[in-house]
């Protein structure tokens, strides 16, 4: 299905992404003259329909960036994970899936010319970092929202992508985990950590998700659009 918005000249398509012998559902949105593409990598219990991620994606679309929201797990895998929590912390498995989606985007006629960034949440942030470290020079920016980048382990030290950690002021445990991970990011790569006032883990407080949008738009606009302008 394809949807077009005349106001913003946006094309939205429901897509099916083949990974190995499985298929993942996704929503690909491409504004006219998009200057980059942001892939959303969510954590456990979330999907391409996450209202928080869709809220951020719409802000990125208005800023001239394409977005891909996709289901990191198949329906069957999600059922298994709900019962066992087996996959949500399997960062190697999740990172490989993210990299497979990245490869699909680079083969797709609509997206292969766009510089790509990752927007990760929860354990998805760790998977995004690992995938980026395994594809150096290919992933041009990373933003983590309430993420667990600490689970990326030694891949933090191999990260070449400009990386922004966004954490809620009242998400105390995750702040400490982000601080620990931040230390291991290379000093040679642009990096920053932003604390959103009054926010808890899910950024449900009034105005806090808007702050996430502003921070993410600024980061991606700087590092994805710079790539286009330099080309």
Over residues 75-89, mean pLDDT: 68
pLDDT at 83: 64
* CATH code of residue 123: 3.40.50.1820
Residue 8 reports pLDDT greater than 60? no
The pLDDT tens digits of the residues spanning 188-203 come to: 999 999 999 999 998 9
> What is the pTM for the complete model shown?
0.91
Q: Rounded to an integer, what distance in angstroms lies between the CA atom of residue 25 and that of residue 75?
A: 10
Find the DSSP H helices in the chain: 51-62, 75-84, 91-107, 123-134, 172-184, 208-230
Domain range for residue 218? 2-230
Residue 82 reports pLDDT greater than 90? no
Residue 5 reports pLDDT greater than 50? no
The pLDDT tens digits of the residues spanning 34-66 come to: 999 999 998 765 667 788 899 999 999 999 999
pLDDT at 136: 86
Over residues 84-107, mean pLDDT: 87
Over residues 122-142, mean pLDDT: 94
What 3-state DSSP class applies to 92?
Answer: helix
- For the chain, what is the domain count? 1
Q: How far, CA to CA in Å, does 175 sit from each of 42, 195, 223?
A: 18, 8, 24
Distant-in-sequence, close-in-space partners of 8: CB < 8 Å, separation ≥ 6? 31, 32, 61, 62
Q: What is the mean pLDDT of the chain?
A: 89
């Amino acid at each position: 299905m394809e949807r077009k918005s005349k106001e913003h000249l946006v094309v939205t398509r429901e897509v099916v992404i083949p990974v190995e012998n499985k298929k993942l559902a996704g929503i690909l949105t491409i504004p006219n003259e998009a200057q980059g593409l942001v892939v959303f990598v969510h954590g456990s219990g979330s999907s391409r329909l996450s209202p928080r991620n869709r809220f951020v994606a719409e802000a990125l679309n208005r800023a001239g960036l394409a977005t891909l929201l996709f289901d990191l797990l198949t329906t069957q895998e999600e059922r298994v994970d709900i019962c066992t929590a087996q996959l949500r912390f399997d960062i190697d498995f999740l990172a490989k899936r993210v990299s497979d989606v990245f490869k699909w985007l680079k083969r797709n006629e609509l997206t292969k010319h766009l510089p790509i960034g990752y927007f990760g949440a929860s354990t998805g942030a760790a998977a995004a970092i690992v995938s980026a470290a395994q594809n150096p020079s290919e992933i041009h920016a990373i933003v983590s929202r309430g993420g667990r980048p600490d689970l990326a382990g030694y891949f933090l030290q191999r990260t070449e992508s400009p990386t922004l950690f966004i954490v809620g002021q009242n998400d105390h445990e995750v702040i400490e985990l982000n601080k620990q991970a931040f230390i291991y990011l290379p000093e040679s790569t642009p990096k920053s950590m932003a604390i959103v006032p009054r926010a808890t883990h899910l950024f449900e407080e009034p105005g806090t998700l808007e702050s996430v949008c502003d921070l993410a738009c600024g980061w991606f606009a700087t590092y994805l659009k710079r790539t286009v302008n330099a080309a």
